[in-house]
Structure formats: C-alpha cells, structure tokens
Amino acid sequence: MIENNHSTPQVPQRVVVLGASGFVGKDLCRQLKNADIPVLPLASAEIDLTQPQCIDQLRQMVEEEDAVVFASALTPDRGKDRAAMMKNVLMGHHFSQFLEQTSLAHLVHISSDAVYSDEEELIDETCCCNPSGLYGLGHLVRERMVQEAASKLGVATTILRLCAVYGPGDTHNSYGPNRFWRTAKNDRRIVLFGEGEEKRDHVFVRDVSRIISFCQNLRTEGVLNIATGTAVSFGEVAKQIAGLADTPVEIECLERKNPITHKHYDIAAVIKAFPTFRFTALEEGLATYFSDSSQGSHG
C-alpha cells in the first residue's frame, strides 16, 4: 500500500543524502542543487556506516526537519558474497540505531528488486519477497530493520525497490545499457549472452531522482517498485546503442550458458501515487546517455 500524506507538494527544508558518491546519490544531489533545494551530501569518506561511531556522527549532522535518503550500499559489482551482504546489513543496522534516536521529516530508503525471486516473471509490490541470492537477502534485511526503527518514532518512510538503472555517471558497469555503452565507446563492440533474448526493464537514473523528490514533496509512505513497465530485450538495447555510436560497433554473441528468463513489472502503484509522472522512454534515455557521455558530462 502506498500513500501520500500531502495533497500538494511541500519541498523539504533540507535533504540529506547518504551514499552521495554513488550512482543514484550523485544524480539526486545534482538535481536537488539545480532546483535550489538545500542538500547535505554524505559519502563514506565523511561517514562510514559500517563503523559504530557513525551513529553519533549522524546525530550531530542530521536535524529533525531534514528529509533523508538512505542510498548507501555495496552494489553487486563489489560483491554478492557473505562478506558484502554482512557489510550492507551492518550499514542498515547502524542507520536503524540512529533512526531510533532521531525524528525526521521523511525517509526514502533505496532498496533493490533483488528482494524478489529470480523466478518471478511479472512483479508488483504484492509479490512475495524471496531473494534468490545473498545480495537480495541483505537488502530485504535492511528494509525490515529500517521499517521497524522508523515506525517507532512515526517517521514517514518510502522504500523504493529499483530495477536496473542506467545513465550518465554509472559506477556499476552492469550487463545492459551501462556496459554496452562503455564497450561500444571503448572497444567498438557489444557482447551479448546468446542473442540477448532476455527482456528486462531499464529505468533512467534521472527518473529515479525525480521519483525520490516526488516522495519527499508528498511525504509518501509505503513500498514502490521503480520500473517503467516496458521490458526490452538486451539484443534490442544493443542495437539501439550501436545505432547511436558515431563509428561501426560489432555485436558479438556468446554461447548461452543459462536458460532464457524474462522480467516484467506492473507499475500500477507508481501511476496511482504519482499520476502526473512519466518515465523517460528508453530511446530518449539512451540518446541522452550517449550525448552526455560523449561530451564528458554527467549533468
């Protein structure tokens, strides 16, 4: 269930972004600054959430009227093993301890669609959370800890479960638009598994930042999957990126080692919560990605 506590937007007095040096955090800080909204960006260099002293540091920096975005996490490219999971859980544990001691105007918790089973082909917010790997399990544990802690002080909380995110400033190099664009630019080739038949949803990073702002301005509560509702095959993504390149790009197909799977999203909850919001079409997002990356800009 998703609910907006404000019928008209009310901009937060300040937004604190934990994980400000990450892909989503950096883009969100850029958008907030462009909108002249006060922002306090906090990266691991300022506060290490794996260390217990971060609790007191957060208490000294974060104020009751702040809207906070908890986007600090080790992403899959930095490990999917037990060690990476435990670090992510430890960050959630320390952040939850901080939450139990401090009231906030609003909280947005950035999670992942990895909390669902890889076997789910049509996903909405009612699907059972049954992670297929340790990475997703870590995110599910974080969600539960943060929800419990925030509820003790009545902090309105939005949990956003992100599907694959692409765009300028990517730090993950994940299979899909981000890796395809990077190898097309550097190596003049794109490598697919099989023919790239799998269909997936890809969301533009700037849309993620816009939805976060919608949630803050409306003091949204509940869980939302962030996906466009349109699944496209990796093969089609590769063709679109190759078509945008200024020199020929070879698309190479490797022998498939895993069965073909597809994922689709029912985004009725996003539409209901934010009826005026429109996701960026993949073609437009890739063109913007191409333009900004070619110019060396992440803005």
- Residue 34: how many other CB atoms lie within 10 Å: 9
* pLDDT averages per 10-residue partition of the chain, 299 residues: 93 97 96 97 95 97 97 92 97 97 95 95 96 97 97 95 94 91 94 96 98 97 98 97 94 92 96 96 94 62
Q: Domains for the chain: give ranges and CATH numbers.
A: 3-163+204-227+266-275 (3.40.50.720)
Q: What is the pLDDT of residue 1?
A: 80
Q: What is the pLDDT of residue 295?
A: 64
Q: What is the pTM of this model?
A: 0.94
Residue 220, phi then psi, degrees to nearest 5 = -70, 140
* Cα dist from 215 to 106, 193, 195, 221, 273, whole Å: 9, 37, 38, 8, 9
